C-alpha cells in the first residue's frame, strides 16, 4: 500500500504538469501568494490583529493613522488605520475573506450551471441546444459587469431595503455567476458533441445502457482540464467583478466590507493625503488577482501543450 502511494507521488512529481510548474518561478511565487491569501483570509477571524467588526473596541482617536513605518504611525497598526480607527491590515484580511468567499461561490455557481447547460445542450441538441446557445450568445454580447449591475438593480427594486441588505451577498454571487456561465457551457457543449458521435455511445445504446450515463463518464474527464482553467481565470474575474461592484456601492453591505468596499471608502480620502486607505487594499487586491491570473495562465499553457 505505502509503496503504491510513494509510486503515485513520484509519478505526480515527475509529471509534465509539475515540471512546467517548477520551471516557472513566477508560477511558484503566484502559488505561494495565493496560499498565503487563502490562509490569511480563511483564518482571519482568529489571526487578524484586531477585530474590526466589533464596533465597541473602535477608538476614533486612532483614526487616520498612517502605516507603522512612517513618522506618525503606531506599531500596533502595521498598515495604518482608516477613518473610524480600524486597523487596515485587519480590514484587508477580513475583506479578502469576503472577496474570496464571494469569488469562490460565484465560480462554483457558474461552473455548475455552465457545465450542466453545456451537457444538456450538447447531448439533447435540436431546439433545446439552439435555445440555450442563443441565450448564451445574448449573454456573451452583454458584458458581465452590466448584467451584474442590472440584476442588482432589479433586486434592489424588488426586495424591501432591509431584506436586500441581508441577502445582498447572495444577490452578488448570483449575478456574477449568472454573467459568467457561458464559457463553461460552450466548452462542455463542444466536447459533448464530439463524444456523442463516437462509437461507444452507439454501442452503449445497442447493449441497452442509457447513452447519457455512459457519456457522462467520458465527457467529464475530458472537460476537467478546460473547466479548471476557465474556473481559475474565472476566480480572478469574479474577485475583480465583486470588487468593482462593491466599489460602485452596489456590492456587499458596508458592515462586512470586501476589498472593493475598502477601496471605495479610501477613495473618499485620496485628496486629503490618506493614500494608504486606498493604495494598501488596492495593492492587496491586485496582488491576489495577478497571482490567480498567473496560475490560470500556467494551467492553460500546461494543459494545452500545443500553445507552448
Partner 1 sequence: MAAYILRRLMQAVIVMLAVGFIAFGMFNFVGDPVTNFIGQDATPEDHERMRAALGLDQPFYVQYARFAANAAQGEFGTSYRLGMKVSAVLAERLPATLELVFAAAAISILVGVPLGVYTGIHRYGLLSRAFLTFSLVGISLPTFLIGILLILVFSVILGWLPSFGRGQVVPVGWWSTGYLTQSGLRSLILPAITLGLFQTTLIMRLVRAEMLEVLRTDYIKFARARGLTERAINFGHALKNTMVPVITIMGLQIGGLIAFAIITETVFQWPGMGLLFLQAIQYADVPVMSCYLILVAMMFVLINLAVDLLYYAVDPRLRADRGAVRGRQV
Query: Can you give the binding site for partner 1, defined by CB under 8 A?
Result: 138, 140-143, 145-146, 149-150, 152-154, 156-158, 236, 240, 243-244, 247-250, 260, 263, 267, 270-271, 275, 278-279, 282, 285-286, 289-290, 293-294, 297, 306-307
Which CB sits closer to partner 1, 78 or 248? 248
Q: At its nearest, how many Å lie between partner 1 and the CB of residue 144? A: 8
Q: How far apart are CA 163 and CA 9, in angstroms?
A: 50
Which CB sits closer to partner 1, 57 or 270? 270
Q: At its nearest, how many Å lie between partner 1 and the CB of residue 290? A: 4
| Maximum Cα interatomic distance, the chain, rounded to a whole number of Å | 80
Q: At its nearest, how many Å lie between partner 1 and the CB of residue 217? A: 31
Q: At its nearest, how many Å lie between partner 1 and the CB of residue 288? A: 9
Helix H, strand E, coil C: the string for the chain is: CHHHHHHHHHHHHHCHHHHHHHHCHHHHHHHHHHHHHHHHHHCHHHHCCCCCCCHHHCCHHHCCCCCCCCCCCCCCCCCCECCCCCEHHHHHHHHHHHHHHHHHHHHHHHHHHHHHHHHHHHHHCHHHHHHHHHHHHHHHHCCHHHHHHHHHHHHHHHCCHHHHHHHHHHHHHHHHHHCCCHHHHHHHHHHHHHHHCCHHHHHHHHCCCCHHHHHHHHHHHHHHHHHHHHHHHHHHHHHHHHHHHHHCCCCCCCCCCCHHHHHHHHHCCCCCCCCHHHHHHHHHHHHHHHHHHHHHHHHHHHHCHHHC
CB 90 within 8 A of CB 48: yes
- For cell 459587469, what's the residue? 145
Which CB sits closer to partner 1, 58 or 229? 229
Q: At its nearest, how many Å lie between partner 1 and the CB of residue 7? A: 36
Which CB sits closer to partner 1, 62 or 246? 246
Which CB sits closer to partner 1, 145 or 303? 145
Q: At its nearest, how many Å lie between partner 1 and the CB of residue 262? A: 12
Q: At its nearest, how many Å lie between partner 1 and the CB of residue 102? A: 14
Q: At its nearest, how many Å lie between partner 1 and the CB of residue 232? A: 13
Q: Which residues pair with 81 in a beta bridge?
A: 87
Which CB sits closer to partner 1, 113 or 290? 290
Which CB sits closer to partner 1, 114 or 282? 282
Which CB sits closer to partner 1, 5 or 271? 271
Amino acid at each position: 500500500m505505502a509503496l503504491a502511494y510513494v509510486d503515485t507521488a513520484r509519478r505526480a512529481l515527475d509529471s509534465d504538469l509539475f515540471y512546467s510548474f517548477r520551471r516557472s518561478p513566477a508560477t511558484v511565487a503566484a502559488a505561494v501568494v495565493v496560499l498565503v491569501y487563502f490562509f490569511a483570509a480563511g483564518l482571519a477571524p482568529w489571526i487578524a490583529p484586531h477585530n474590526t467588526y466589533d464596533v465597541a473596541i473602535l477608538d476614533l482617536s486612532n483614526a487616520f493613522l498612517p502605516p507603522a513605518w512612517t513618522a506618525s504611525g503606531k506599531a500596533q497598526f502595521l498598515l495604518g488605520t482608516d477613518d473610524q480607527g480600524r486597523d487596515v491590515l485587519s480590514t484587508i484580511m477580513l475583506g479578502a475573506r469576503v472577496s474570496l468567499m464571494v469569488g469562490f461561490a460565484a465560480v462554483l455557481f457558474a461552473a455548475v450551471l455552465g457545465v450542466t447547460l453545456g451537457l444538456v445542450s450538447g447531448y439533447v441538441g435540436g431546439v433545446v441546444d439552439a435555445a440555450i446557445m442563443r441565450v448564451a450568445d445574448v449573454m456573451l454580447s452583454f458584458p458581465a459587469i452590466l448584467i451584474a449591475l442590472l440584476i442588482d438593480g432589479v433586486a434592489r427594486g424588488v426586495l424591501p431595503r432591509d431584506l436586500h441588505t441581508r441577502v445582498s451577498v447572495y444577490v452578488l454571487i448570483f449575478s456574477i455567476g449568472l454573467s459568467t456561465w457561458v464559457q463553461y457551457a460552450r466548452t462542455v457543449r463542444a466536447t459533448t458533441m464530439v463524444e456523442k458521435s463516437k462509437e461507444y455511445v452507439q454501442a452503449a445504446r445497442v447493449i441497452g445502457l442509457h447513452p447519457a450515463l455512459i457519456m457522462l463518464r467520458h465527457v467529464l474527464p475530458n472537460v476537467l482540464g478546460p473547466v479548471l482553467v476557465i474556473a481559475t481565470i474565472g476566480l480572478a474575474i469574479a474577485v475583480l467583478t465583486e470588487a468593482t461592484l462593491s466599489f460602485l456601492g452596489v456590492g456587499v453591505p458596508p458592515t462586512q466590507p470586501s476589498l472593493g468596499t475598502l477601496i471605495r471608502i479610501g477613495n473618499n480620502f485620496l485628496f486629503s493625503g490618506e493614500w494608504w486607505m486606498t493604495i494598501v487594499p488596492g495593492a492587496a487586491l491586485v496582488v491576489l488577482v495577478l497571482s490567480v491570473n498567473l496560475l490560470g495562465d500556467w494551467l492553460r499553457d500546461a494543459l494545452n501543450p500545443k500553445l507552448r
